[in-house]
Amino acid sequence: MGSLRVNLCGIELDNPVIPASGTFGFGYEFAEIYDINCLGTFSFKGTTRDPRFGNPTPRIAECTAGMINAVGLQNPGVDKVIAEELPKLFKVFHKPVMANVSGFSVEDYAYTCERLSAVGEIGWLEVNISCPNVHGGGMSFGTNPDAAAEVTAAVRRVTKKPIIIKLSPNVTDIAEIAKACEGAGADGISLINTLLGMRINLKTRKPVIANKMGGFSGSAIFPVAVRMVYQVANAVKIPVVGMGGVSTAEDVIEMMMAGATAVEVGAANLVNPTACRDIIEDLPRAMEAYGIRNLNEIIGVTK
């Protein structure tokens, strides 16, 4: 069997498959279904400084080849995550885990990352900068290179652990923002987050979800994700984690050929709870079919 091992920001993974934040809870829920130690790692539920109830319901809607969600970062806040959620996870998962962090100000990001960085079992901090900048009139940090760099630098000052900045695809020049993050001290880039989407109920003539618009994810966005991963991987020298519509072993290989070192799987987990396990088990077959002996050989092979 070919080698599935990869190195993400200095930490070895048994394979490149990572359940994406927001689709895998805090992990222990899925451990009731299968042994989650088969995963490379996973990114746990987005965590903020303070508890968040999230957006009003309904906040999830199905659509062709995907879904729209506006959950709104529902989580119990970083203190409860550390005190209550992570101990339950570490009973069933015995590898470094990826913490996903969101915030509404630079100070929020720095505080939450510093708290999570002190947890020994956390290997990486995945910093989601698609959230509104409350001090900048509601603009997302991830849509502006200077704002993205400011968050990155602030997090860099409070941790020595690898920082992976998660970028929004709702921008004009994704590579420019990725380079700004790299320059400010990021160890990696993950992308893409959801696209902005909307559905309308034809009977009520109103938006399907209460928030009107939400994040569009699922297999429909895969070509956009591959394109952006390719652009960023060719613009920076740090590792890229690719995601967006990944649902098969072939999708993982395609993302890696575009330049991804590791690949996150999101919406597929909500359709099939064993999606990540199934992809990992199928990777050797797909590698053999395409003459791949070692996954590291194909990272960024497409030029």
Give CA–CA dist 34/42, Å, rounded: 14
Contact 196, 170 (CB under 8 A): yes
Residue ranges of alpha helices (H) inside the chain are 78-80, 86-90, 106-117, 145-158, 174-183, 222-233, 249-258, 268-271, 275-289
**What is the Cα Rg of the chain in Å?**
18
Contact 113, 95 (CB under 8 A): no
Give CA–CA dist 171/234, Å, rounded: 17
Cβ neighbours of residue 204 closer than 8 Å, sequence gap 6 or more: none
Give CA–CA dist 73/46, Å, rounded: 6
Give CA–CA dist 299/303, Å, rounded: 11
* Residue 131 is a catalytic residue: yes
Give the DSSP letter of residue 39.
S
Give CA–CA dist 187/178, Å, rounded: 11
User: How is residue 303 written in tokens?
Assistant: 């030029």
What are the CA-CA distances from residue 150 to residues 118, 141, 186, 248 (Å)? Answer: 22, 9, 11, 36
Cβ neighbours of residue 121 closer than 8 Å, sequence gap 6 or more: 86, 90, 96, 97
Adjacent-strand bridge partners of 69: 60, 215
Catalytic one of 9, 131, 181, 276: 131
Of 210, 219, 220, 216, the closest CA to residue 196 belongs to 216
Active-site positions read 131
